[in-house]
Chains A and B, each alone.
Chain A
Amino acid sequence: GQNIDQPTEMTATEGAIVQINCTYQTSGFNGLFWYQQHAGEAPTFLSYNVLDGLEEKGRFSSFLSRSKGYSYLLLKELQMKDSASYLCGGGSTLGRLYFGRGTQLTVWP
């Protein structure tokens, strides 16, 4: 939906920092969401950016550039429990909510 692209897989080590990028087609989108999904579970909300810039929430931060159709999720001080799929999603003014294919993050000890 709406050409939302993100890497399929990423790996990192415990304690490190990882950045997950997301690009999207800019027309019609209100803002960008990030969700976390552990295997076998439902997605859970992490962040929502509607204005350009960086939003920080504890170990997680999310950035948006509306003009470039670009967002990233930054995870600091990685922990084993951060191993999950991270979904980038965008919403339209019509209420539709689309997601990319998700980035599977594996955190190694």
Chain B
Amino acid sequence: DAGITQSPRHKVTETGTPVTLRCHQTENHRYMYWYRQDPGHGLRLIHYSYGVKDTDKGEVSDGYSVSRSKTEDFLLTLESATSSQTSVYFCAISEQGANTEAFFGQGTRLTVV
């Protein structure tokens, strides 16, 4: 199994609070991705990274920011959580971006109350 872990696995937070989700990999893969998955919407790309300090927006980036200060960690921050951000968040890693297989973490279930 690819070495990718997400933390926390579950979190309940209040509206308006900041939240940071962490994705950690031990594979030294260049590309890292953050997705959210909601019923009826499949996987939607939030942000992705193509190297240390290199990030770009995806389809649903509003309300989210990311940082990648080292190869192994990709952080997703909800600046001020809203109920619409209640979702399951998946991190993925890939050696060559969209040309190779991506490996997914186990997901983080976030509930904003």
Q: Which residues of A contact B (CB under 8 A)?
A: 1, 30-31, 33, 41-45, 48, 50, 87, 89-102
Given known pairs A42-B107, A87-B42, A102-B42, the reply for A95 and B101 (CB within 8 Å) is no
Q: Any chain A CB within 8 A of the CB of B106?
A: yes
Q: Which of B99, B101, B106 contacts A30 (CB 8 A)?
A: B99
- Contact (Cβ within 8 A) B98 A90: yes
Give every chain A residue within 8 A of B105 (Cβ-Cβ): 42
Scoring A31, A41, A50, A95 by chain B CB atoms within 10 A of each residue's CB, the highest score goes to A95
Asked whether A91 lies within 8 Å of B98 as measured between CB atoms, the reply is: yes
Chain A residue nearest to B49 in the complex (CB): A95
Q: Give A30 to B33 CA distance when docked, in angstroms.
A: 17
- Supposing A30-B99, A95-B98, A101-B40 touch, asked if A42 and B104 sit within 8 A by C-beta, the answer is yes
Q: List the B residue with the shortest CB-CB distance to A40.
A: B107
- Tell me the residues in window 40-64 of chain B with beta carbons closer than 8 Å to chain A beta carbons: 40-45, 48, 50, 56, 58-59
**Residue among A42, A48, A90, A101 making CB contact with B101, cutoff 8 Å:** A48
**With a CB–CB cut-off of 8 A, which chain B residues contact A30?**
98-99
CB nearest neighbor in A for B91: A42
Q: Which residues of B contact A89 (CB under 8 A)?
A: 43
- A107 to B70: give the CA distance in the assembly, Å: 44
Task: Find chain A residues with CB under 8 A from B40 CB.
Answer: 101
Q: Which residues of A contact B101 (CB under 8 A)?
A: 33, 45, 48
Q: Are B45 and A87 in contact (CB under 8 A)?
A: no
Q: Is the CB of B106 within 8 A of A42?
A: yes
Given the interface pairs A1-B58, A91-B98, the reply to whether A97 lies near B90 with Cβ below 8 Å is no
B56, B97, B107: residue with the most chain A Cβ atoms closer than 10 Å = B97
- Extra contacts besides A30-B98, A91-B98, A99-B45 (7): CB < 8 Å: A42-B90, A42-B106, A42-B107, A87-B42, A95-B98, A96-B98, A102-B43
CB atoms of B99 and A1 under 8 A apart: no
